[in-house]
Amino acid sequence: MSDPAPPTRFGGDAPDGETGERNVVLRTLLRLRSVLVLVPLLAGLLIAAAIGAGMLWADIPDRQLTGPDVTCWDGQSAPVTDCTEPRGRRGLHWVFPSYQIRDERCVPLERRGSSSPYQVACALRFDQRPVTVTYTARSSADDLLKALRASYGAKPVSEADGERLVFRGSSAGSNGLYRVTVAYAGHPFSVTVEAPDRRVRDTALDELVTFRPADQVVVRQS
């Protein structure tokens, strides 16, 4: 009897090696398809997130980014960063309430160029002696202190918890008057008192001049 014939392959079945290769190809194609689906999906999510963030920031008013409004020295309502240093006669009156704008004894001094300070001098009397009180505003606190150090040639004394600096002359000037100047440490304002003797000078400063607290020079207290 002859041996049985080997089984016949139907349907064009591939050998085992070819089947394995086909499976590898199919798995690779499936992975590529997953990647191709995920890439546009991730790109869409990123675009949506960017648009959403832009809309979120756009909905925040500018005033919230700069802080709440305050009342500036001139009565205007604005963010504190927009409040300027006081200016002109009205500004000097705000910083030094003792200076009265309508006081005929007080006159603005002539300015010698845009870089020169704005000054108002008041010819007063104290203890039956002549006293001159001069209110000054410069372009910046640094310019003010630099000019005073050059004028007095001495270190100032701090007062009011460091808010103000006092420059005091030890002898009479060429005009025969003794002078003292009090300047704000962080603002471009100062006041100078000149008198025939030291006692009148110092007493007049205490009695005739009033200062606004440094933290209220630019912004009004609520």
Residue 80 lies in a domain: no
Q: Are residue 136 and residue 174 in the same domain, yes or no?
A: yes
Q: What's the confidence (pLDDT) of residue 63? A: 47
Instruction: For tokens 């756009």, name the residue.
Output: 58
Is the same domain home to 49 and 152? no
* 177 & 115 share domain: yes
Residues in the chain with pLDDT < 50? 1, 8-12, 14, 35-36, 57, 63
The answer to whether position 193 is within a domain reads yes
pLDDT in tens, 191-213: 999 999 999 999 999 999 999 99
- Residue 158 maps to a domain: yes
Instruction: Tell me: do 46 and 111 sit in the same domain.
Output: no
Q: Are 164 and 211 in contact (CB under 8 A)?
A: yes
**Best CA proximity match to 98, nearest among 221, 189, 205:** 205
Predicted local confidence at residue 68, as pLDDT: 87
Output the pLDDT for position 40. Answer: 59
Domain region containing 100 = 85-212
CA 214 centroid distance within chain: 16
Say if 102 falls within a structural domain: yes
| Residue 53 placed within a domain | yes
The number of distinct structural domains making up the chain is 2
Q: Are 110 and 35 in the same domain?
A: no
Judgement on whether residues 40 and 125 belong to the same structural domain of the protein: no
One domain, residues 99 and 202: yes
pLDDT of residue 44: 62
> What is the structure's pLDDT at 21?
60
pTM (two decimals): 0.70
Token code pair at residue 48: 């949506």
- CATH code at position 134: 3.40.1000
Q: Which residues contact 183 (CB under 8 A, 6 or more apart)?
A: 144, 145, 148, 156, 164, 165, 167, 189, 190
Give per-residue burial for 16-31: e unless 16+ CB within 10 Å, then b: eeeeeeeeeeeeeeee
- What pLDDT score does 111 carry? 86
